[in-house]
């Protein structure tokens, strides 16, 4: 079977789909995928990958492929539970209001570089969010580890949303229409949980003290 038949790329509105031939051995597929990406390296840089389909992969094999396309070829693996819709300031009916008891997605792993989560609700990550990873949520974002990537809470207009983490060190932080970046002092290393929220038209970050919440 030829290289082109073993590895196929399909373009969709959500990004590229990588189709792996089911009857081909994994090591051969990996070798041919690297070869094919090398031949068009400049074309694939920054491309979004919607999913990998075809051959059934183990979790270790899938992780190896994702690491390969992210770190070696600069592609982005996008994970969308539901497609997010763009809203305007006037479309208040579509703003997610379930900040206290709304639908919540639990991500039971660390998000590595190149991973992106988009969800029409609240997101809780049971791990870290590494630099190069991104979370976009209509509701709140809670990180049970270190946030070192990008987080955008209240993404469709709810400025009452918040972002909290055991270590709040984001590359970029957004809540509703407001945006903040990491402090210039790279030595900043909080030793306690923090929460980011909107007050007086700006993003504030404070220690998360349960007795005050």
88 vs 153, more confident: 153
- Short-list 81, 74, 211, 93, CA closest to 157: 93
Average pLDDT of every residue of the chain: 82
pTM: 0.60
Task: Report DSSP state, residue 64.
Answer: H
For the 3-79 domain, the top CATH level (class) is alpha beta
Quote the CA–CA distance of 194 and 213 in Å, as a whole number. 12
On the question of a common fold for 3-79 and 92-212, the answer reads: no
Residue with tokens 């590494």: 130
185 vs 55, more confident: 55
Burial class (CB in 10 A: 0-12, 13-18, 19+), 69: buried
pLDDT in tens, 15-51: 888 889 988 999 999 999 898 888 887 787 777 788 8
Helix (H/G/I), strand (E/B), else coil: 180: strand
For the 92-212 domain, the top CATH level (class) is mainly beta
Domain ranges of the chain: 3-79, 92-212
Mean pLDDT of 111-131: 90
């Amino acid at each position: 079977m030829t290289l082109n038949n073993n590895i196929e790329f399909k373009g969709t509105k959500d990004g590229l789909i990588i189709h792996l031939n089911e009857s081909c051995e994994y090591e051969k597929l990996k070798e041919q995928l690297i070869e094919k990406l090398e031949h068009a390296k400049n074309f694939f840089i920054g491309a979004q990958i919607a999913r990998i389909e075809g051959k059934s992969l183990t979790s270790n094999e899938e992780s190896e492929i994702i690491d390969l396309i992210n770190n070696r070829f600069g592609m982005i693996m996008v994970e969308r539970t539901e497609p997010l819709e763009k809203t305007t300031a006037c479309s208040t009916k579509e703003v997610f209001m379930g900040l206290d008891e709304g639908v919540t997605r639990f991500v039971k792993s660390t998000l590595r570089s190149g991973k992106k989560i988009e969800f029409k609700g609240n997101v809780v990550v049971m791990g870290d969010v590494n630099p190069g990873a991104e979370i976009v949520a209509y509701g709140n974002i809670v990180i049970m580890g270190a946030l070192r990537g990008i987080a955008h809470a209240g993404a469709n207009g709810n400025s009452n949303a918040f972002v909290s983490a055991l270590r709040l060190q984001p590359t970029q932080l957004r809540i509703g229409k407001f945006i903040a970046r990491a402090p210039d002092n790279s030595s900043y290393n909080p030793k306690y949980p923090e929460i980011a929220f909107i007050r007086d038209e700006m993003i504030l970050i404070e220690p998360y003290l349960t007795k005050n919440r």
